[in-house]
Structure 1
Amino acid sequence: MKETYYNINDLEKLTGIKAHTIRIWEKRYGLLEPSRTDTNIRYYSANDLKKLLNISVLNKNGIKISRIAEFSDQEIGEKVIEFTSRTSDVEDQVQALTMAMFHMNLQKFEKLLTVSYINRGFENTYLEIITPFLSKLGLLWQTGTITPAQEHFATNIIRRKIIVAIDGLLASYNDKSKRFILFLPEGEQHEISLLFAYYLLKKYNQHVTYLGTSIPFYSLDEFNFFHQSDYLVTSLTNAISVPRMKEYIHILSEQFKDQTIIFIGQQIENYQYPLPSNILKMNSIRDFQKLFSS
């Protein structure tokens, strides 16, 4: 696999540590030793990024940089595990999940989620821990920092946890319960947000049919013909051009005029154009939660 390299601004973006601070730590404490191009420009490796993420956790928990500089890389890693095993701080938990994903440490990743479930409950763990972790995961993926194996390692564990939580719910349907069809458009495979939407709807006693990923339009239309719903819910995560998104929204709106269509996901959150009257745009999964919890 081709190794990924970063400039100092990339490190700032990925770790939240100012470039100026990183330079000071380099010069004063030798915490990082960047390589240089033929034209004398600094660049950093994936290992430098991982080390800096660990350093930020220790520093945030009160260990001075001068002290951290005395630790070996192994000691830094051990102390991060020690801190993140007992902290309830959101940022530290997200950082710990990130490091467990980097190392594909199944036991550590699952333990972090389990401890959070005990302290926060499943729903708040998703909203407060998993949601920011997935945002960070997306950034790491875009910058080429993580491999497909690492990304799939993390998302499949989370996916499995959500499915278990869904199965553990016992819905009590009543005359206010509505019918929902949940699906992802053809070519869309990122289902974590949609699975959590399924969890919320079942929790709030709604009838849910989950069709899953990459559903062709004709198949959705056929299913809806035989199983008429009140709502369609879908999620857009993959990059999509504005013209294509407009077209897809228009087709859904016209074909399913009698239903309300709810969009969630990163792409619709960034969509800034007028929407048809039967289309609802959720700016976050919390908005979706509030829609049915009231």
Structure 2
Amino acid sequence: MPYTVKQVSALTGIAPDRLRAWERRYGVVRPTRTDGGYRLYDDEDIARLRLMMRLVDGGTPASLAAQEVNGATSAPTGEFRPPEPLGAGTGPGLDALVRVAVSLDRAEAELLLDQAFAAGSFESVVEHWLLPALAQVGSAWQDGIVDVAGEHFVSAAVRRRLGRAFDASGTALGGPVVLAGLPPGSLHELGSLSFATVLRRLGADVRWLGVDLPVDSWAHAADRLRPAGAVVSVPLARDAPAAAAVFRRLTQDFPGLRVYVGGQGAPGVPPLVEDLAGPTLAPLPPSLVAAARTVAAELRGV
């Protein structure tokens, strides 16, 4: 089915001027022309443009994104082949980040993350590939396969990519304001930042406060912003006491504020605050996406 520039723009969200620029500069699509000179696109063009848009929105420079899109077209037939989902078939699996941590190859790291985030939605890639792959890197470090430098190298590359995704998810102005971050002493930020991005994509005005945030600073932010909710990430069991201190301060100083805890160490928090009056604290679901949906659903009526 042929599509006009206006129809393609509506289907992909890409402005007409940008469509023409990508065609002219990078050859991402090669539309046919009517007798009157008007561009006509087909379904393959739509698929290529959607992939290009996902890559660019994820922070990939347009020139590199175009190389990835053009590489997804087979030479013999010209048939478009979207990237294979990570972990399936011959695509990169959960150990792909381990190989990057060993090689310390910046280009390899960026290409791997480009391919990953082009393979599916942000939510699916983070939950089913990125976080499990980061766990593999941690295990490889414990086993002596990966050096500390390699673990830090991978974490920095992922942190840059998640930061761009968080910025690209929009400001959600008018949505419920939600504080998100880690308690004092907690430094493992990638799960928290992933969660904050998913929650922002669900329409919450998320203010991500980062790592190692003192209890007083949590209280200061809550006093300044008067949020509808606050989510304290508890990535490790040893972070539970610090998270409990944040929970105590916020619930006592700001009655009515919904305070959530989530992460692998979250189940250790409720026993530390069971003496507090009010509803029993229940950690968020272990699934990052389910946790974000829970918070978003509960805050819609706030």
Deviation at 1:230, TM superposition (A): 1.1
Alignment partner, residue 188 of structure 2: 190
Flag the 1:241–1:220 CA change in 2: closer, same or farther, 3 A: closer
Identical pairs, percent: 20
SS in 1 for 2:265: helix
2:199–2:293 contact (8 Å) kept in structure 1: no
Deviation at 1:258, TM superposition (A): 1.9
TM-score normalized by the length of structure 2: 0.59
1:257–1:278 contact (8 Å) kept in structure 2: no
2:287 corresponds to 1:284: yes
1:254 to 252, 255, 259: 252
SS in 2 for 1:263: strand
Flag the 1:287–1:172 CA change in 2: closer, same or farther, 3 A: closer
Distance 1:179 1:164 in 2: 20
Structure having the larger proportion of residues in strand: 1
Distance 1:184 1:89 in 2: 29
Amino acid at match of 2:290: D
Alignment partner, residue 135 of structure 2: 135
1:240–1:267 contact (8 Å) kept in structure 2: yes
Residues 16-64 of structure 1: CA deviation (Å, up to 9, x unaligned): xxxxxxxxxxxxxxxxxxxxxxxxxxxxxxxxxxxxxxxxxxxxxxxxx
Flag the 1:200–1:207 CA change in 2: closer, same or farther, 3 A: same
Residues 114-148 of structure 1: CA deviation (Å, up to 9, x unaligned): 11222213332211210111222233344454322
Flag the 1:191–1:292 CA change in 2: closer, same or farther, 3 A: same
Distance 1:222 1:245 in 2: 16
2:186–2:211 contact (8 Å) kept in structure 1: yes
Q: Which runs of 5+ in 2 are unaligned?
A: 1-82, 298-302
Distance 2:191 2:240 in 1: 21
2:98–2:140 contact (8 Å) kept in structure 1: no
Distance 2:151 2:100 in 1: 11
Superposition map of 1:85-100 within 5 A: 88-90=85-87, 92-100=92-100
Superposition map of 1:1-294 within 5 A: 88-90=85-87, 92-174=92-174, 177-240=175-238, 249-269=247-267, 273=271, 277=279, 279-282=281-284, 283-291=286-294
What is the alpha-carbon root mean square deviation over aligned residues?
2.9
SS in 1 for 2:109: helix
SS in 2 for 1:290: helix
Deviation at 1:172, TM superposition (A): 4.7
Distance 1:252 1:141 in 2: 36
Deviation at 1:246, TM superposition (A): 5.2
Distance 1:241 1:188 in 2: 6
Q: State the number of aligned residues.
A: 207
Flag the 1:269–1:158 CA change in 2: closer, same or farther, 3 A: farther
Flag the 1:243–1:108 CA change in 2: closer, same or farther, 3 A: closer
Flag the 1:252–1:173 CA change in 2: closer, same or farther, 3 A: closer
Distance 1:270 1:142 in 2: 24
Q: Which runs of 5+ in 1 are unaligned?
A: 1-85
Deviation at 1:270, TM superposition (A): 6.3
Distance 1:96 1:118 in 2: 16
Deviation at 1:232, TM superposition (A): 0.8
Flag the 1:264–1:94 CA change in 2: closer, same or farther, 3 A: same
